[in-house]
Structures are given as C-alpha cells and as structure tokens.
Structure 1
C-alpha cells in the first residue's frame, strides 16, 4: 500500500490550464454530476412523499438499473465508433429534457409514482451511453502517467455532486418545493451539455469502424476473456455489487425517513456526508501515486464491508452520516485504481467496450439486488438487518480476494 508524492515538476506538467480539452471535460462534469444528484434527491423524496408503499421506492432503482444494464454494451460500442463528445452532449441534454417533462407533470398536478419509475428507466438508458463515453474519453486527453491523477480529479468533480447536489436539493425542497429543485437540476444539465461541446478532439478514423458492430463486440469479448486482470475484476464486482448496491441505495433513504423520522434535509445530510468522504478519497488519490494499487484496492474492499456492516448498527443520524462518509472514502480507494488499471492496460480503440463490459458485468445482479431488497422490506425484514447481513457477506467475499495474486501483484 505504499505511495509516492508527485514532484512539483510533475505537477506543473499537469496544469489543467494547459490542457484545454480536459478542462472543459472537468467543467462539464462539475455541472452534470451535481445536477443529476439534485434531480435524484428530489425524485427519491418525491416518491417517498407520493406513496407509503416502499416497493414503489425500490422499483425506482430497479427501473433505472435494468435498461442501464441492457444498453451498456451498446453504449460501449457507440463510444468506440462515434464521437465521444457528441455522446456526452446527447446524454446530458436528454436528461434535461426528461426533467422538463417531470416539471410539466408537477405544474399540472398529474405526477404519479408510475411517471417517476418511467423517467428512472429513461435516465438509465442515458447512463448506459454516458458512462463508457466519459471513461473512454479521459485517456484520450491525458498521457498514461497522469491517468490516476486525471481519474481522481474527474472523480473529485463528480463527488462534489453528493455534497452540492443534496445540499441544494434538500434546501430547495424546503424553500421552493419540488418545482424549484427540478428546475435547478434542469439548468445544470443544460450547462453541462453545452460545455462539453467546447472539447475539440480529432479522433483518428480507424479501419475498425468499417467492421460490423457484431464483429467489434466479438473482438471486445475475446480480448476481455483473454485478459486475466479484466476477468478477475469483473468476477469480483459481479458478486460484490449484488450485496452492496440494493441495500445501500434503498436502505439509506428508508432508514432516514422510517427509522429516524427524518426530513428531506436529513437525507441530504447523509448524502452530503457520503459526498465528502468520496471527495476526500479522490483528493488523496490525486495527490499521491499508489506503488501497489492492487493491494490497496483489496484492503479497501475489506474496509468497505466492515463499514457497511457498522452502518446497519447506526442509532442516530449523525452516526449514520459519519459511517457512510468513511465508507465512501474507501470506495474511492477501490474504484480509482480499478479504472486506472483498465485504462492503462487496454488499447484505446477498445476502451469504450471494456468500460461498458466492466459496468455491465459489475451491475449484472444490481437489478436483482434492488428487487430482492424491496421484496425483503415488503415481507417485513427490517432495513438495518438487511444491511448488517449484507455487510458480513461483502466482508467475507473481500477476504477471499486476498488469494488473488494477479490483483495483489499489479503495478502501474
């Protein structure tokens, strides 16, 4: 888990002001991610307000996860074949349009739980195209030596969102109601979509684009299957996310509202704490270079399981917020090295496909995780019990990875 601090000379080479394209990508991310989180908090609280049936709340996450999973492979293929900047523009602009539709439902007082579930599904499709495009574009703007720092800075921009987003969302719900929160989200996503258009990147036309889409997918699958590092990461993420995603995403809002009897500002407090933890984690990894990223990542996985377990025993709002803050710090210690490993070891013309494959496999069981969590709640299993059991399983699965020599020995 050793690290080394970059020299001032290295930092000077990485001045964002000297990399116009990366700077615009960063600015776009600073509008896009917080805007998405403003919408997400408003949507979650609106669903909890519209219906006391928590199955509907679970369906909100399930509806977003399924189309995201279905279209991710196509999103990766598009990222390798089309202009990545254009894909990011369409993604943010389409989200703004969807929020505009929700505002119309609110103004006409016709919004229902079904409307929110359908919008969640459409947001999931947008996610499927934006994720591989963003992560395939970053390595095209930066040299390999700066990828960890670049990924960390993009993550920092993204992690401002769980701080700024819930803070704005909770405050706007209290002051201006749901129309206020969704209007701000719409404006931020529009700004993000416009900013990304300033990126000027001449992507090389490759002969691979003349090959059929099926042939390109086959090529990507064969490459992934033969790469032991990719296989190790994908198998690990496949099982861990099942026990983590559903209980965390559904569990925190339910605990805040049903157990702690909190308000929208209470939920915002917990999500802001998560954002602070993730932001600090990204900042730390932007300041240092990991000498043994594989060992660091596996240690982080074990810590995630332990803190997730502790989350289930929280008895106050502030205890819950503190625990999830430490947990999201640790998540960055896992996610950023994984992303950097794949970006450094994958040919650039396959980056979109590899990123979509990783996301597809790692989220393959997430819809089932959401459905299972909603079902357990429906039959009367306490949310905190679900989180405690899930934390135990995540910790156990992480400990098994200590036998994974391929990950333990990896170096940038």
Structure 2
C-alpha cells in the first residue's frame, strides 16, 4: 500500500500533461461526456418521432433526474468504500451496454416511449455513481497545486460536450439514422470505459473497524458539519444552481420565442454562446493559476448575479447572447474554484461523500429548480421577473459571503 501511494504521489509531481493517470482520465472524459450527449440527442429525437404525446418527452428528463438525486449520496459512500476506477469503469460500460439494448429494440422495430424512459432512469442511476467517483479521483492522481488546472481541463471536456455532442448526434441522425447515432454513442462510451482501465490509483485508506453504510453516512454528515468551509461551499453550490439553472434553462426558450419573437436558430445561438463562454473560462483557468481562489470566486459570483439579472431586463437579442456568454465564463470562475477548494480541504477517505453532497445540492437538485420555476410561471409570475429576482438573490448571497473568512481567505495550496 505504501509503495502504491508513493508511486502515485511522485507521478503527481510531474507536469499535468505528463501524468499518465490524469491523461487517461482526460481521454475517458473526452469519450464519455460527448458520447452521452450523442446518445441524449438521439434519445430525444427518437422520443419525438415515436409519439406525439409530449408528456413522455418531459418524462425522459425526469426519469434520469430523480434516480440521480436519490442515489448521489449512496454513490459517494460507495466511492469511499471501493476502488473509484472500478466504479467509473462499470458506469461507462453499463451505459454502453444499455445502448446495445436500445439498438436491439430499434433493429427489431419494437422500441416504445416506455423503453426510452426506463433507459433514461438507468442512465440516471449510473450517473449517481460515476459523478462522485470521477470528481474524487482527481485529487488522488494530482498534487494539490495542480487541482485547479486539472479541474479546468475536466470542465473543458464537459463544456465541449453540449456543443460537439448535439452537432455530431444531429448529423448522424440525418445521414445514418438512429442505428448510426446510437452505434457511435456505444463506441464512445465503450472506449471511455477501456481508457479508465489504464488508470492506476493508490490504495484507498481502510478503517480499522468495518462500518455499516449508515455509519459511513453519519460520519460524512458529521465531517461536513464540522468543516465550515465544506458547509459554505455546499451552500454556495445550492444557491447557484437553484436560482440559476431552472429559471435559465426554462426561461431562455420562453424569452427568445415570446418576448423577442425569435426562431429556433436564435435559441441555438444563445445556448451555444453559453457553451463557448464556459469553454473559454475553463481554458483560462487551465492556463493561469489563481492565488486567491476564494476572492476570485466571490467577485465572479457577484458579477454573475448582476449579468443574470440583466437578462431579465434586456430588450435586445444580441445583448442576451453577450450576457449569456459572459455568464458561461463567470460560472467557470465560480464552479472550478468551488470544486478545487472542496478537494483540497477534504481528507481523501471522505472525498466521495463530500463530492456527492456537493453534486446532490447542485446538479441533483436542478429538477427541484425546474419544478419551482414551472409553478411560478403557472401562477402568472413573468419569467423576466423570476430571472431578475434570482440574479439579485445570487448577488446578495455573494456579498454576504465577503464576511466569510473561510472562503475569502482561501488561497492556493502548495503541493
């Protein structure tokens, strides 16, 4: 065990791009994330093609979101108990095999809306275990002063995917049909799982006493409760996603269509601008080193709230495109330091649980944000008002946290 740990630490001291383990992790992410989006665009279009009932289309997203939300904490527990590489391998491989099942239904002309919803649910279960495993692997294969760059590079793959995945998927549907798009998605996820096998992790610390999963969960909550920085990071993650993700995802199509009388092309340009801004932010953080991560995070969060609120007051489509692109850039200046701070201050044996807590209150609770936004719209509240109020709240939260010395004083850790 000691030898394994020593080898990994020594490897982590080399430059990021010469770190064999991290390179295979990046390769896996470059296949996995775009592969998932290729599958997603295929599944969405297939659902729209086989049924006129748009209720099923909405269920496609809900079916993936609910299992992810319910099982993320369990995913964190398992990531701390078992080899994270094995978890990530099984997650990618299981998704590849699920696509094979879908291809069987397509080739036999027996695919139904229920099949797609069940597969979406199984994909959501897989996500709940892969997220904590991947996000807790980075600190095990990189030195602490390399985490910002490493997280930025991982985020780059995540931001390329919503741009590249739908473009590739849409083209494949047009030229090769559903069999072609799902075959490519299968190959990409299979290659990702194979790349994961080449990663070598140190042995994870094993407690002297065997604990039950319930005891592990209580230990995780106790650890988080005693760590004020962890609490602050998780709370910021919650507010950022709750007040922005739902209103922005639901609101942009409404604003483009109803307020600006725009087209699908206009909506695509707005959504692509978000991806481009986020990609630019990830590239910048991969290129420079933030010495005062906490200060940059809070300043970026204030600006993010202001630009977000401005969308609700904007009367010009081009201005909305520019605001959304800037938001994408600023979101990376918030999310990447948040992730890095949590990784650097968490004991390695607790990384899976802390990552799952963060994922639960951020990506996991996005469906709750969707529901609340939808209810407000049903009550007659205008989407522009919802966005403006959300932006103001995010700005106020950031301003309040300037009194939080744990965040404000956080600086880059030296490896």
Distance 1:407 1:278, change over 3 A: same
Match of 2:6 in 1: none
Distance verdict in 2 for CA 1:335–1:39, change over 3 Å: same
Residue 291 of structure 1: SS of its match in structure 2? coil
Aligned to 1:346: 346
Q: Provide Cα deviations, 1:135-194, integer angstroms capped at 9, x if missing partner.
A: 111111111121111111222222221232122123334434444333322221111111
Q: Which residue of the partner structure matches residue 298 of structure 2?
A: 298
Q: Distance in 2 between matches of 1:202 and 1:101?
A: 35
- Equivalent position of 1:6 in the other structure: none
Q: Offset of 1:319 from its aligned partner?
A: 5.3
When the two structures are superposed, what TM-score results if normalisation uses the length of structure 1?
0.85
Partner of 1:407 in structure 2? 407
Contact 2:72 2:364 in 1 (8 A): no
User: Does residue 14 of the first structure (1) align with residue 12 of the second (2)?
Assistant: no
2:139 alignment counterpart:
139
Q: Secondary structure at the match of 2:289?
A: strand
Q: Is the 8 A contact 1:55 1:374 kept in 2?
A: no
Corresponding position: 1:260 with 2:288: no
Distance 1:252 1:125, change over 3 A: farther
Once the two structures are overlaid, the 10-residue window that deviates more, 241-250 or 122-131, is 241-250
Aligned twin of 1:327: 327
> Structure 1: which 5+ residue stretches go unaligned?
1-10
Residues 162, 271 of structure 1: 8 Å contact kept? no
Q: Residues 76 and 352 of structure 2 are in contact (CA less than 8 Å); yes or no, is this contact kept in structure 1?
A: yes
Residues 49 and 299 of structure 1: is their aligned pair in 2 closer, same or farther, counting only changes over 3 Å? farther
- Structure 1 position 127, deviation (Å): 1.2
Q: Tell me if 1:24 matches 2:1.
A: no
1:203 aligned partner: 203
Whether the 8 Å CA contact 1:54–1:374 is kept in 2: the answer is: no
Q: Distance in 2 between matches of 1:304 and 1:125?
A: 32
Cα distance, 1:214 vs structure 2 = 2.1
Paired residues, what number? 399
- Deviations 1:234-278 (Å, cap 9, x if unpaired)? 223223322222223344466668863326xx7665444333222
* Structure 2: distance between partners of 1:316 and 1:109: 46
| Distance change in 2, residues 1:396/1:120 (3 Å) | farther
1:31 positional shift: 0.6
Cα distance between partner residues in 2 of 1:50 and 1:315: 38
Q: How does 1:84-99 map to 2 (within 5 A)?
A: 84-99=84-99
**Residue pair 2:159, 2:279 contacting (<8 A) in 1 also:** yes
Asked if the contact 2:152/2:286 (under 8 Å) is kept, the reply is yes
Q: State whether structure 2 residue 178 is matched by structure 1 residue 169.
A: no
Distance 2:406 2:36 in 1: 36
The range that moved more, 204-213 or 42-51, is 42-51
Give the direction of change, closer, same or farther, for the CA distance of 1:215–1:57 in structure 2 (3 Å limit).
same
Contact 1:51 1:113 in 2 (8 A): yes
TM-score, normalised on structure 2?
0.84
Paired with 2:142 and 2:57, the residues of 1 have a C-alpha distance of 40
Q: CA deviation at 1:14?
A: 0.7
Would the aligned equivalents of 2:79 and 2:133 in 1 still touch at CA under 8 Å? Answer: yes
Contact 1:35 1:186 in 2 (8 A): yes
2:186 alignment counterpart: 186
Return the alpha-carbon distance in structure 1 between the equivalents of residues 326 and 53 of structure 2: 31
Deviates more, 1:346-355 or 1:109-118: 109-118
CA shift in 2, pair 1:370/1:345, >3 Å = same
In 2, Cα distance between the equivalents of 1:104 and 1:385?
47
Aligned position for 1:4: none
Verify the 8 A CA contact 2:309 2:392 in the aligned structure 1: yes
Contact 1:162 1:274 in 2 (8 A): no
Q: Distance in 2 between matches of 1:97 and 1:363?
A: 25
Partner residue, 1:125: 125
**CA shift in 2, pair 1:405/1:350, >3 Å:** same
Query: 1:358-391 deviations in whole A, cap 9, x for unaligned?
Result: 2223356432212233445567766556544433
What are the within-5 Å matches in structure 2 for residues 26-45 of structure 1?
A: 26-45=26-45
Which residue of structure 2 lines up, in the alignment, with residue 243 of structure 1? 243
Decide whether aligned partners of structure 1 residues 21 and 101 sit closer, same or farther in structure 2, where only a CA change above 3 A counts.
same
Q: Root-mean-square deviation (CA), in Å? A: 3.1
SS of 1:207's equivalent in the other structure is coil
- 1:282 aligns to what? 282
1:108 Cα offset (Å): 4.8
